[in-house]
Amino acid sequence: MSVLDVRDLKKSFGKNHAVQGISFSVSAGEVFTIIGPNGAGKTTTLEMIEGLVTPDHGEILFGNLTWEKNSKTIKQMIGVQPQSSAMFDLLNPEENLDLFATFYDKARPTEEVLKLVNLTDHRKNHVKKLSGGQRQRLAIGLAMISDPDIIFLDEPTTGLDPQARRNIWDIILELKKLGKTIILTTHYMEEAEKLSDRVCIVDQGKIVTLDTPAALIAKLTEEREVRLAFIDGAAAAEEAEVFSQNIDSVVRTEREGSSLKLWSTNPEDTLYDLFGFTKEKNYKVEQVSIREMSLEDVFIAFTGKEWRD
């Protein structure tokens, strides 16, 4: 069942056409991720859906509710964690949550939210003394205080260290378990791949592609990247490159010093042939790997651009 329908959204700021006709639907209990590089139009899209920015064109439906007619009801049913994670710095997490709780018709107990975002130990510390990760967790807590069905998380892990990022992921997965619908934006491919049910890749204000992470990767060519590093140096790698170019399944090769990269449509057979060659020549290989395709490859394949975090 669709809880959010976005139809042909457009928004320009002067000559900057930030969003140019974005449409999608989000089902209940789904983690839907909008991913794209900086300036792709993710936040503008999200802010239009959150009712902060009025679209120039298009329609946003929460079930059959619209911002024009049902803004108060929509605000009661959504929770928002904005990119800036603004909150009252001179209050502590508990006081911030207590304040936000009074804004809603129903609210979760503050204690429960503090526990969920793992801030029970820091409940009495002023927000200005919290770390970046703790602030972001509190921002998510504020979005959850009303126990909303739909939660918007705008780049919740940007600027955080790997440990803090993983803590946020755990919270998001916990929310997913609770059956919440989450609309997430990020520019971390790994995050989108790990957390999302569906991913929408946005670039220059348009949807490049939209599907489950697995389906998006499957859409790519069957080629896999195979890497080998030779102990016997560049000469051995060069000979192996010449040999591999004669294998039918190898599409292309790249060599740098004693390392060889090749793309094969049948990596297992290619490796079997290569190991026959190295055994015959008595060359020693110190590292072998077959890299799985990722969303990053999907992005590169669909946009023709290098991915930049």
Binding residues for another protein, per CB under 8 A? 13, 18, 43-44, 47, 50-54, 72, 75-76, 80, 82, 84, 86-88, 90-91, 95, 98-100, 102-105, 126
Beta-bridged to residue 249, according to DSSP, are none
Shortest distance, CB of residue 107 to another protein, whole angstroms?
Answer: 11
Nearer to another protein, 43 or 181 (CB): 43
Nearer to another protein, 86 or 288 (CB): 86
Nearer to another protein, 83 or 253 (CB): 83
Give the start-end residues of each E strand in the chain: 2-13, 16-27, 31-35, 57-61, 78-81, 150-154, 181-186, 198-203, 206-211, 224-230, 250-256, 259-264, 285-291
Shortest distance, CB of residue 142 to another protein, whole angstroms?
Answer: 8
Nearer to another protein, 99 or 300 (CB): 99
Cα separation, 26 vs 13, in Å, equals: 26
Shortest distance, CB of residue 185 to another protein, whole angstroms?
Answer: 15
Nearest to 62 by CA among 53, 52, 54, 50: 50
CA 121: distance to chain centroid?
29
Shortest distance, CB of residue 80 to another protein, whole angstroms?
Answer: 4
Nearer to another protein, 119 or 199 (CB): 119
Shortest distance, CB of residue 182 to another protein, whole angstroms?
Answer: 16
